[in-house]
Amino acid sequence: MMIGIDLGTTFSAAAYLDPDGNPQLVSNSRGARLTPSVVMEEDDGTVVVGEDARESMVLMGDAVVSTVKDYMGTDRKFVLPSGTAYTPEQVSALILKKIVKDAEEFLGEEIRQAVVTVPAYFNDAQRQATKDAGRMAGLDVACMPNEPTAAALYYAWSSRMEKGRILVYDLGGGTFDASIVEICGKQAEVVATGGIRKLGGHFFDQLILNYAADYLLEKYGLDVYDDEYIDELQELSLKAENCKIQLSSRTSAQMVIKIGKVREKLEITRAQFEKMIAGFYGRTESTVRMVLQDAGMSWKDIDKLLLVGGSSKIPYIAERLREFSGMEPSHETNPDEAVALGAALYASGLFEKVQDVCSHSLGIVSRRGAGAEKYNSVIIPRNTALPARMSRDYYTGTNDMKKICLEITEGEDEDLDYVSILAGIEILLPPGIPRNTRVTVEMFLNQNQLLHVYARIHAEPEIYKEIEIPRSSNLDESEIAEQTTLLERIVVQ
């Protein structure tokens, strides 16, 4: 059976299609539907994933890794007490292993294939890292649909929507995504998407934590960010999250602080919290406005405003969205579960067609003439339907050029300061290529938004080749093989 997995920043979940054709969540070994994306290494080398690891965060801080998804596509290492330095891919693979193991026990069958969702705004390196994590976990990741798309599929299925446009507002633990998805019978088409990389509940906790830290510093001269309070800080950040969640159902909440000699009940009101997150909310609203604009739509073209992600349960978010859109935001689906359930629908093939779009423009660094300033020349614009194959022509600047240096860009802006460089590639040229020889750079972005680049040099004879992209922020094949072997030896509980 192929399952759907929501590999979240704070929680992960798996879902499957039951014999009646209904998507259902898997219960983990603790009987819960959500598994914290937290990994802990025990003294004997056993790796514990989920609630047990989360509960140990305070006492075993240095042996615990959380919010690894924030670091996907980076070369960050997590050094655990055994001395092993885990990559974000490895930590994610351990989470996937646990999710799959629990699903196998729950469903009573072996699972080899899965659909794993990713934030719509994930870039090339983050998607590549997620795919590699799946491979390391021994999982064939058949597809990596975007989280808001999966949520829209679930909403359309559960509400029996025949035709309509859904605007998904997905505010989770670490990322924000907004997508407009058009449903037509058994087909789903994403019209436009956008997001913010580091915005979510995890950062709201930080705001409350900073508030408490400022308070303690002012009143007691106590600096909780000092190394000596490392364990207390861990505990305080869990309390900050708790306080935030309480504020979704109450107008004020207390944080009981016990640090050193300090015993204090710090009260935080909902109004105070709303003030803290207003700026973050404003950024999400701008993104939604941009997505509507990219789709050439206004609110009157939208039939449903769907809230997804645990942080969308904050009443302020729904209130502001109600004002902004003039629509009633939908709470009909459980915001924590919709993505995994939609992933299961995706895996089942119940929808005949799910067409997504590319979330970032892709191109190369070019010049508008010899000596002119460098700029970002976009080849595949953002929001192009996937899979996408597009090309652009460039011309060699001098006679007998020895090589072409292709720098692959990700981002919309012409100004290179605002885009990232995915990779730099050298294409060696045969001797005697005259100036102004046409070079066609072709980009192919597959369904999973993984990029392939080809170059055609219009010389005699013509040269056409696929270019290996050395992704500097991802692992290479030998590193993957090595880290997979290491993971095979680890028992995950």
Cis bond before residue 387 (omega within 30° of 0) = yes
Size of interface with Mg ion, in residues (CB under 5 A)? 2
CB of 331 to ligand ATP, least distance (A): 11
Question: Are 207 and 255 contacting, i.e. CB atoms less than 8 angstroms apart?
Answer: no
Query: With respect to ligand ATP, which residue has the nearer C-beta, 201 or 329?
Result: 201
- Name the one range near ligand ATP by CB under 6 A: 152-160, 167-175, 425-433, 446-454: 167-175
- What, of Mg ion, ligand ATP, none, does residue 128 touch, CB below 5 to 8 Å by kind? none
Report if residue 8 touches Mg ion, rule: CB under 5 A: yes
Residue with tokens 């299609």: 17
User: CA 32 to CA 232: how far, in whole Å?
Assistant: 28
Query: With respect to ligand ATP, which residue has the nearer C-beta, 312 or 376?
Result: 312
- The answer for 476, left when phi > 0, alpha when psi is -120 to 50, beta otherwise, is beta
- What, of ligand ATP, Mg ion, none, does residue 32 touch, CB below 5 to 8 Å by kind? none
CA distances from 61 to 54, 64, 121 (A): 10, 5, 30
Closest C-alpha to 168, from 186, 193, 199, 144: 193
Give the distance, in angstroms, between the CA of residue 430 and the centroid of all CA atoms in the same chain.
42
Report if residue 42 touches ligand ATP, rule: CB under 6 A: no
CB of 408 to ligand ATP, least distance (A): 26
- With CB under 5 A as the contact rule, the residue among 23, 73, 148, 172 that binds Mg ion is 172
Query: With respect to Mg ion, which residue has the nearer C-beta, 8 or 134?
Result: 8
Query: With respect to ligand ATP, which residue has the nearer C-beta, 247 or 379?
Result: 247
- With CB under 6 A as the contact rule, the residue among 336, 337, 356, 410 that binds ligand ATP is 336
- With CB under 6 A as the contact rule, the residue among 42, 232, 241, 410 that binds ligand ATP is 241
Query: With respect to Mg ion, which residue has the nearer C-beta, 39 or 439?
Result: 39
- Name the one range near Mg ion by CB under 5 A: 80-88, 168-176, 199-207, 419-427: 168-176
Question: Are 154 and 10 contacting, i.e. CB atoms less than 8 angstroms apart?
Answer: no
- With CB under 6 A as the contact rule, the residue among 98, 101, 165, 202 that binds ligand ATP is 202
Torsion 272-246-318-146 (CA) sign:
positive
- With CB under 6 A as the contact rule, the residue among 73, 134, 145, 174 that binds ligand ATP is 174
Query: With respect to Mg ion, which residue has the nearer C-beta, 175 or 348?
Result: 175
CA distances from 482 to 41, 78, 129, 460 (A): 19, 17, 15, 43
Report if residue 173 touches ligand ATP, rule: CB under 6 A: yes
- Name the one range near Mg ion by CB under 5 A: 2-10, 81-89, 371-379, 412-420: 2-10
Report if residue 248 touches ligand ATP, rule: CB under 6 A: yes
- Name the one range near ligand ATP by CB under 6 A: 153-161, 242-250, 423-431, 479-487: 242-250
| Cα radius of gyration (the chain) | 24
Q: Supply 302's token pair.
A: 């939208």
CB of 244 to ligand ATP, least distance (A): 5
- What, of Mg ion, ligand ATP, none, does residue 36 touch, CB below 5 to 8 Å by kind? none
- What, of ligand ATP, Mg ion, none, does residue 69 touch, CB below 5 to 8 Å by kind? ligand ATP
Return the half-sphere exposure (C-beta side, CA atoms, 13 A cut-off) of residue 272.
Answer: 17
- Name the one range near ligand ATP by CB under 6 A: 211-219, 311-319, 383-391, 444-452: 311-319
- With CB under 6 A as the contact rule, the residue among 33, 54, 69, 270 that binds ligand ATP is 69
Closest C-alpha to 343, from 144, 166, 175: 144
Burial class (CB in 10 A: 0-12, 13-18, 19+), 301: middle
User: CA 201 to CA 277: how far, in whole Å?
Assistant: 10
Report if residue 245 touches ligand ATP, rule: CB under 6 A: yes
Report if residue 114 touches ligand ATP, rule: CB under 6 A: no
- Beta strand 353-355 with 262-269 is unpaired
User: CA 442 to CA 391: how far, in whole Å?
Assistant: 4
User: CA 148 to CA 301: how far, in whole Å?
Assistant: 18
User: CA 306 to CA 152: how far, in whole Å?
Assistant: 8
Q: Which residues bind Mg ion (CB under 5 A)?
A: 8, 172
Q: Which residues bind ligand ATP (CB under 6 A)?
A: 8-11, 69, 147, 172-175, 200-202, 241, 244-245, 248, 309-311, 313-314, 336
